[in-house]
Chain A
Amino acid sequence: MKWRQLSITALACAVLAPSAYAATAAGDPNPWHAPRPDRPDVVFVKNATVWTCGPQGKLSNCNVLIKKGKIVEVGQNITAPKDAVVIDGAGKHVTPGMIDPHSHTAIVGGVNEGTNTITAEVRIQDVVNSETINIYRQLAGGTTTVNLLHGSANAIGGQNCVIKLRYGADPEELKIKGVKPGIKFALGENPKRSNWGSDEEKSSHYPSTRPGVEQLIHERFTSALDYMAQWDAWKKNKRGMPPRRDLQLEAVAEVIRGERIIHSHAYRQDEILMLMRLMDSYDVTIASFDHVLEGYKVANEMAAHGVGGTCFTDWWAYKFEVYDAIPYNGALMWDRGVVTSFNSDSSELARRLNYEAAKAVKYGGVPETEALKFVTLNPAIQLQVDDRIGSLEAGKDADFVVWSGSPLSTYTICEQTWVDGRKYFDRKEDLANREALAAERQVLIDKVNAKDKKDEAPTKDADAKAPDDWEYSCRDLGRGQH
Chain B
Amino acid sequence: MKRNRFSFVLILALGLLTPAGFAATTALVGGSVHPVSGPVIENGTVVLEDGTITAVGAADVAVPAGAERIDVSGLHVYPGMIAANTVLGLVEVNSVPGTVDDRENGELNPNLKAKNAINPDSELIPVARANGVLTVLTATIGGVLSGTSVVWNLDGWTSEDWTIKDNVGLHVHWPSMTTQSGRWESRSEEDQKKARGKKIQSLTDAFENAKAYKKARESMADGGHHHDVDVRWEAMLPALRGEMPVFVHADEYLQIEAALDFATDQEIKIILVGGRDAPKLADRIAAEGVPVIIQDVLATPRRSFEPYDAAYTVARELQAAGVKFCISTAGNGFGCANLRNLPYHAAMAAAFGLPKDEALKAVTLYPAEILGVADRLGSLETGKDANIMVTTGDPLEITSNVIMAWIAGNRIDLGTRHTRLYEKYRNRPRTDGRETKLAPSPAEQ
Partners in one complex: yes
A317-B431 in contact given A352-B348, A362-B398, A409-B397 (Cβ < 8 Å): no
Question: In whole angstroms, how far apart are the Cα atoms of A336 and B351 in the complex?
Answer: 35
Question: In whole angstroms, how far apart are the Cα atoms of A300 and B433 in the complex?
Answer: 11
Asked if B248 CB lies within 8 Å of chain A CBs, one says no
A464-B178 in contact given A300-B431, A411-B347 (Cβ < 8 Å): yes
Asked if B432 CB lies within 8 Å of chain A CBs, one says yes
Asked if A194 CB lies within 8 Å of chain B CBs, one says yes
Asked if A27 CB lies within 8 Å of chain B CBs, one says no
* Chain B residues, CB < 8 A from A314: 338, 340-341
* Chain B residues, CB < 8 A from A195: 95
Residues B178 and A430 in contact, CB atoms below 8 Å apart:
no
Residues B422 and A317 in contact, CB atoms below 8 Å apart:
no
Closest 3 CB pairs of A and B: A365-B439, A410-B347, A463-B178
Stretch at the interface among B182-190, B267-275, B287-295, B367-375: B182-190
* Chain B residues, CB < 8 A from A413: 351-352
Asked if B90 CB lies within 8 Å of chain A CBs, one says no
Q: Identify the A interface with B (CB < 8 A).
A: 3-4, 7, 10, 13-17, 133-134, 136-137, 140, 189, 194-195, 296-297, 299-300, 303-304, 314-320, 323-324, 326-328, 331-332, 335-337, 347-349, 351-352, 355, 358-359, 361-366, 368, 408-413, 430, 434, 437, 441, 459-467, 469-471, 478-479
Question: In whole angstroms, how far apart are the Cα atoms of A359 and B431 in the complex?
Answer: 26
Residues A136 and B337 in contact, CB atoms below 8 Å apart:
no
Residues B350 and A411 in contact, CB atoms below 8 Å apart:
yes
Asked if B437 CB lies within 8 Å of chain A CBs, one says yes
Question: In whole angstroms, how far apart are the Cα atoms of A324 and B416 in the complex?
Answer: 11
Question: In whole angstroms, how far apart are the Cα atoms of A10 and B426 in the complex?
Answer: 51
Residues A319 and B95 in contact, CB atoms below 8 Å apart:
yes
* Chain B residues, CB < 8 A from A297: 425, 428
* Chain A residues, CB < 8 A from B341: 314
* Chain A residues, CB < 8 A from B437: 335, 365
Main secondary structure of the interface of B (DSSP, over half): loop
Stretch at the interface among B76-84, B105-113, B135-143, B300-308: B300-308
Interface size range on B against A: 35 or more
Nearest B residue to A134 by beta-carbon distance? Answer: B300
Residues A463 and B95 in contact, CB atoms below 8 Å apart:
no
Contact with A along B381-398 (1 / 0, CB 8 A): 000000000000000111
Question: In whole angstroms, how far apart are the Cα atoms of A402 and B263 in the complex?
Answer: 47
* Chain A residues, CB < 8 A from B301: 137
* Set A4, A17, A315, A463: member contacting B337, Cβ < 8 A: A315
Residues A465 and B438 in contact, CB atoms below 8 Å apart:
no
Asked if B116 CB lies within 8 Å of chain A CBs, one says no
Residue from the set B176, B333, B351 with the largest chain A CB neighbour count within 10 Å = B351
Question: In whole angstroms, how far apart are the Cα atoms of A462 and B344 in the complex?
Answer: 31
Apart from A355-B344, A466-B304: 8 A-B pairs, beta carbons within 8 A: A140-B309, A195-B95, A303-B432, A352-B348, A410-B347, A412-B351, A465-B304, A479-B184
A461-B397 in contact given A137-B308, A140-B308, A352-B348 (Cβ < 8 Å): no
Question: In whole angstroms, how far apart are the Cα atoms of A320 and B431 in the complex?
Answer: 30
Nearest B residue to A328 by beta-carbon distance? Answer: B422
Q: Whole-angstrom distance from the CB of B154 to the nearest CB of chain A?
A: 16
Q: Whole-angstrom distance from the CB of A67 to the nearest CB of chain B?
A: 30
Residues A463 and B308 in contact, CB atoms below 8 Å apart:
no
Residues A3 and B280 in contact, CB atoms below 8 Å apart:
yes
Question: In whole angstroms, how far apart are the Cα atoms of A102 and B51 in the complex?
Answer: 47
Residues A465 and B308 in contact, CB atoms below 8 Å apart:
no
Residues A326 and B422 in contact, CB atoms below 8 Å apart:
yes
Residue from the set B299, B304, B419 with the largest chain A CB neighbour count within 10 Å = B304
* Chain B residues, CB < 8 A from A410: 344, 347-348, 350-351, 396-398
Residues B304 and A335 in contact, CB atoms below 8 Å apart:
no
Q: Whole-angstrom distance from the CB of A105 to the nearest CB of chain B?
A: 10
Question: In whole angstroms, how far apart are the Cα atoms of A14 and B182 in the complex?
Answer: 14
Q: Whole-angstrom distance from the CB of B205 to the nearest CB of chain A?
A: 24
Question: In whole angstroms, how far apart are the Cα atoms of A69 and B341 in the complex?
Answer: 38
Nearest A residue to B416 by beta-carbon distance? Answer: A326
Residues A331 and B398 in contact, CB atoms below 8 Å apart:
no
Residues B338 and A411 in contact, CB atoms below 8 Å apart:
no
* Set B178, B253, B425: member contacting A296, Cβ < 8 A: B425
Question: In whole angstroms, how far apart are the Cα atoms of A16 and B337 in the complex?
Answer: 35
Nearest B residue to A335 by beta-carbon distance? Answer: B438
20 A-B pairs in the complex with CB atoms less than 8 angstroms apart: A3-B253, A133-B305, A140-B308, A296-B421, A300-B430, A318-B333, A320-B93, A328-B438, A331-B438, A335-B426, A337-B432, A365-B438, A409-B397, A410-B397, A413-B352, A437-B305, A460-B189, A463-B254, A467-B183, A470-B183
Asked if B209 CB lies within 8 Å of chain A CBs, one says no
Question: In whole angstroms, how far apart are the Cα atoms of A59 and B398 in the complex?
Answer: 23
A10-B334 in contact given A317-B123, A461-B178 (Cβ < 8 Å): no
* Chain B residues, CB < 8 A from A351: 300, 308
Nearest A residue to B300 by beta-carbon distance? Answer: A348
Nearest A residue to B418 by beta-carbon distance? Answer: A326
* Chain A residues, CB < 8 A from B253: 3-4, 7, 462
A469-B298 in contact given A328-B422, A332-B422, A362-B401 (Cβ < 8 Å): no
Residue from the set A336, A364, A463 with the largest chain B CB neighbour count within 10 Å = A463
* Set B308, B418, B426: member contacting A327, Cβ < 8 A: B418
Asked if B42 CB lies within 8 Å of chain A CBs, one says no
Asked if B413 CB lies within 8 Å of chain A CBs, one says no
Question: In whole angstroms, how far apart are the Cα atoms of A4 and B94 in the complex?
Answer: 36
Residues B421 and A324 in contact, CB atoms below 8 Å apart:
yes
* Chain A residues, CB < 8 A from B428: 297, 300
Residues A348 and B298 in contact, CB atoms below 8 Å apart:
yes
Residues A318 and B95 in contact, CB atoms below 8 Å apart:
yes
Asked if B96 CB lies within 8 Å of chain A CBs, one says yes
Contact with A along B86-122 (1 / 0, CB 8 A): 0000001111100000000000000000000000000
Residues A348 and B299 in contact, CB atoms below 8 Å apart:
yes
Residues A335 and B436 in contact, CB atoms below 8 Å apart:
yes
Question: In whole angstroms, how far apart are the Cα atoms of A84 and B348 in the complex?
Answer: 34
Residues A463 and B302 in contact, CB atoms below 8 Å apart:
yes
Question: In whole angstroms, how far apart are the Cα atoms of A363 and B94 in the complex?
Answer: 24
* Chain B residues, CB < 8 A from A347: 300
Residues B300 and A137 in contact, CB atoms below 8 Å apart:
yes
* Set B298, B300, B305: member contacting A14, Cβ < 8 A: B305
Q: Whole-angstrom distance from the CB of B92 to the nearest CB of chain A?
A: 7
* Set A328, A331, A464: member contacting B180, Cβ < 8 A: A464
Question: In whole angstroms, how far apart are the Cα atoms of A364 and B399 in the complex?
Answer: 11
* Chain A residues, CB < 8 A from B348: 352, 410
Q: Whole-angstrom distance from the CB of A179 to the nearest CB of chain B?
A: 27
Nearest A residue to B332 by beta-carbon distance? Answer: A318
* Chain B residues, CB < 8 A from A352: 298, 348
* Chain B residues, CB < 8 A from A299: 425
Question: In whole angstroms, how far apart are the Cα atoms of A87 and B93 in the complex?
Answer: 49
Residues A319 and B96 in contact, CB atoms below 8 Å apart:
yes
Residues A328 and B418 in contact, CB atoms below 8 Å apart:
yes
* Set A320, A364, A470: member contacting B439, Cβ < 8 A: A364
Residues A463 and B303 in contact, CB atoms below 8 Å apart:
yes
* Chain A residues, CB < 8 A from B340: 314
A318-B183 in contact given A337-B432, A362-B401, A413-B351 (Cβ < 8 Å): no
Question: In whole angstroms, how far apart are the Cα atoms of A411 and B340 in the complex?
Answer: 17
Residues A411 and B356 in contact, CB atoms below 8 Å apart:
yes
Question: In whole angstroms, how far apart are the Cα atoms of A460 and B300 in the complex?
Answer: 23
* Set B182, B254, B431, B438: member contacting A364, Cβ < 8 A: B438
Q: Whole-angstrom distance from the CB of A80 to the nearest CB of chain B?
A: 30
* Chain B residues, CB < 8 A from A337: 432
Within 8 A of A (CB), among B391-411: 396-401
Nearest A residue to B122 by beta-carbon distance? Answer: A317
Q: Whole-angstrom distance from the CB of B93 to the nearest CB of chain A?
A: 5
* Chain B residues, CB < 8 A from A140: 308-309
Residues B432 and A336 in contact, CB atoms below 8 Å apart:
yes
Within 8 A of A (CB), among B167-189: 176-184, 189
